Structure 1
Amino acid sequence: MNKVIMVVIDGLQYNVAATQMGFINHLVERNEAAFYKVKSELPSMSRPLYEVLLTGTPASVNGITSNDSIRLSTQKSLFHLTKENGLRNAATAFYWVSELYNRTPFDKVEDRQQVNEDKAIQYGTFYFDDFYPDSHLLLDAEVLRRKHDPHFLYIHTMGVDNAGHIYGSDSKQYRKTAINMDRYLAELIPIWMKEGYHIVVTADHGMNTDGEHGGTGSDERDVPLFMISERVKPGCYEQVIPQLAITPLICKLLQIAPSEAMLDYDFSDMIR
């Protein structure tokens, strides 16, 4: 089945994912998932990296260079590509994703719930508070999945990033939020696996001990990539994946052609 669920856990460090997320690492230990390290693009800021993860293009090409780049994307995203290929898509995400691909500026009343098959994001639920609960967001996504049966479902949570900004990455609150996120995923991933989805879990950027990100440090740039799929070779790998490779990876799992702007990456060691 060429259906993908992509979960982006905003602000999740690689090391915290490796040590605190017990369920998803259990799947790695049981040879049911693959685990890689990803080196994020620069700047290691949210809006630029949403664009990286969804279009596979760097800031120097797409022009989304900071969180203040408030405009529609000029690049072909995974939403555009799925729509062009006759596939359905849906998203539950922070409102900046809607501003990148559907409409700018975001209107809290008109744009929170979106159903429009003519838009790049066809079915969407968008939040605008950093403290919107991850548990609610994941259920928002599951409602869209069951109602609209998308081929590509994009889920973007903010709880880990919010805890990191408030308490810093070396805090019990940051680690606890990652543990909770793993707990919420533990309820849904078995359902998604049973129904045959390709599941990709990653992050846009990490977090430093000051509660910030945007720079070049490994705590800000090193993020996890978990993949659960019959087509993915399971195991824990030391190979570092460039973040620009994730979008063409999703295209490969969806069995659609990537855009011409995307990285030409050899996935033969990762995918059957």
Structure 2
Amino acid sequence: MNKNMKIIVADLFIIFAIVIGYQIFLSMGYKETIEDTNVKHSINIFDDNRNYLLNYEPQIEKDILLKSIVSDVSIGNITVIKADGESFKMTSDVFIGKNKDGVYCATIDKKNIIENIVGIYLSDNYKSITYVYYHIKNYIDNDKKLMVVLLDGFGYNEYKLAKEKDYIPFLSQYYKHTALSVYTPVTNAGYAAMITGQTPNINGVHDRSVREMNVNSIFAYALEKGEKAILLESDIKILNTEIEPILHLDLNKDSDTDDEMFNSCLDAVSGDNDLIFIHFHGIDDRGHAYGTQSEKTLSYINKVDGYIQKLSEVWGKSIILTADHGMHDTEDGGSHGECRSEDMIVPYFIIGE
């Protein structure tokens, strides 16, 4: 090999080494970026009606008592919500702190430390949207027919406003209590929690990208018990369940499929179905487009209230209604996906029990 060839080979080797080293550097940096996005270094503290603190970030040098952070609130129990969707019920005698892994919550004796938390729900009357699963199961076990209505995006604050302005005269008669959604409060995660009875850390559905559940849903249980179940959905299948949903097209071109699903449900109640599950989307759609307090959103809530009244009259049996998540207002409409009161707290209704 002559001298010039040796120089060329050496130069190529150096260039190759630089390229490989740069790629390794980029991959390490990318990995760190991904890991950083999974750690939330601040939390939200809220109850059914308000947010006490949004994006609260404790000092890394010391722990602080929760009761001193929200000193104006009389609380006995709390629910601590982790970034992976798991939640823990605890007394309010806890410390809040921060380390490299994010915000944590610790009991006074430091024997129980919950890391990487995103929110703290202040309530002595904890209820969850996961209760829907067990509520349905109880009806199946007692050989009773049931309709379940998922009012997508219908938060508790929205319900209160609709009631105050008399947009929901029928359904407001059957309000029972508030319920805590799951983190992340989006449709796939909330819907999965309702039909599996499990939080995202167990059922595996954390966000909109996930369709497969790690555990069986209530539809599998209904089939196992020999019950006939029907699932009425919009034009897209949200989750892969043990029964195929009946999808609906916007036949009258009014930019909604709720009316088509309502008509299908009227047909379903006249059949021999034991469990009817219907997923209305229109409240969520208008909340996103116009905000939760807009006249267009409230008027649509009134329309859905009429749907529910008619279904109740024809069905003549028990109905459970709740939402997968709520929604907070933004400058150009509404959004959800945060661990805050508007997104996490929803109303729970029971008709005919």
**TM-score between the two structures when normalised by the length of structure 1:** 0.68
Q: In structure 1, what is the Cα distance between the partners aligned to 2:216 and 2:189?
A: 15
Structure-2 residue corresponding to 1:249: none
What is the correspondence of 1:122-141 to structure 2 with a 5 Å cutoff?
124-127=245-248, 131-141=255-265
Alignment root-mean-square deviation, CA: 2.0
Structure-2 residue corresponding to 1:269: none
Structure-2 residue corresponding to 1:244: none
What is the correspondence of 1:146-161 to structure 2 with a 5 Å cutoff?
146-147=270-271, 149-161=272-284
Q: Does 1:208 align with 2:349?
A: no
Structure-2 residue corresponding to 1:114: none
| Secondary structure, aligned partner of 1:100 | coil
Structure-1 residue corresponding to 2:346: 223
Report which of the two has the higher share of strand: 2
Q: In structure 2, what is the Cα distance between the partners aligned to 1:55 and 1:224?
A: 19
Structure-2 residue corresponding to 1:239: none
Q: Does 1:189 align with 2:312?
A: yes
Structure-1 residue corresponding to 2:243: 121
Aligned-pair distance for 1:226? Answer: 0.6
Report the residue type matching 1:16 in the other structure.
Answer: E
Report the residue type matching 2:191 in the other structure.
Answer: Y
| Secondary structure, aligned partner of 2:176 | strand
Q: In structure 1, what is the Cα distance between the partners aligned to 2:180 and 2:218?
A: 20
Q: In structure 2, what is the Cα distance between the partners aligned to 1:200 and 1:100?
A: 22
Aligned-pair distance for 1:177? Answer: 1.2
What is the correspondence of 1:1-272 to structure 2 with a 5 Å cutoff?
2-18=144-160, 19=163, 20-25=167-172, 28=173, 33-69=174-210, 71-94=211-234, 97=237, 99-101=239-241, 120-121=242-243, 124-127=245-248, 131-147=255-271, 149-193=272-316, 197-210=317-330, 211-230=334-353
Q: In structure 2, what is the Cα distance between the partners aligned to 1:56 and 1:83?
A: 17
Query: Is the 2:149–2:320 contact (alpha carbons within 8 Å) kept by the matching residues of 1?
Result: yes
Q: In structure 2, what is the Cα distance between the partners aligned to 1:95 and 1:134?
A: 10
Query: Is the 2:152–2:284 contact (alpha carbons within 8 Å) kept by the matching residues of 1?
Result: yes
| Secondary structure, aligned partner of 1:68 | coil
Aligned-pair distance for 1:209? Answer: 0.7
Q: In structure 2, what is the Cα distance between the partners aligned to 1:92 and 1:206?
A: 21
Aligned-pair distance for 1:167? Answer: 0.8
Aligned-pair distance for 1:22? Answer: 1.0
| Secondary structure, aligned partner of 2:183 | coil
Q: RCO greater where, 1 or 2, for CA within 8 Å and sep 6 or more?
A: 1
Aligned-pair distance for 1:229? Answer: 2.4
| Secondary structure, aligned partner of 1:223 | strand
Q: Percent identity?
A: 26
Aligned-pair distance for 1:34? Answer: 4.7
Structure having the higher Rg: 2
Q: In structure 1, what is the Cα distance between the partners aligned to 2:273 and 2:285?
A: 28
**TM-score between the two structures when normalised by the length of structure 2:** 0.53
Aligned-pair distance for 1:135? Answer: 2.2
Query: Is the 2:147–2:320 contact (alpha carbons within 8 Å) kept by the matching residues of 1?
Result: yes
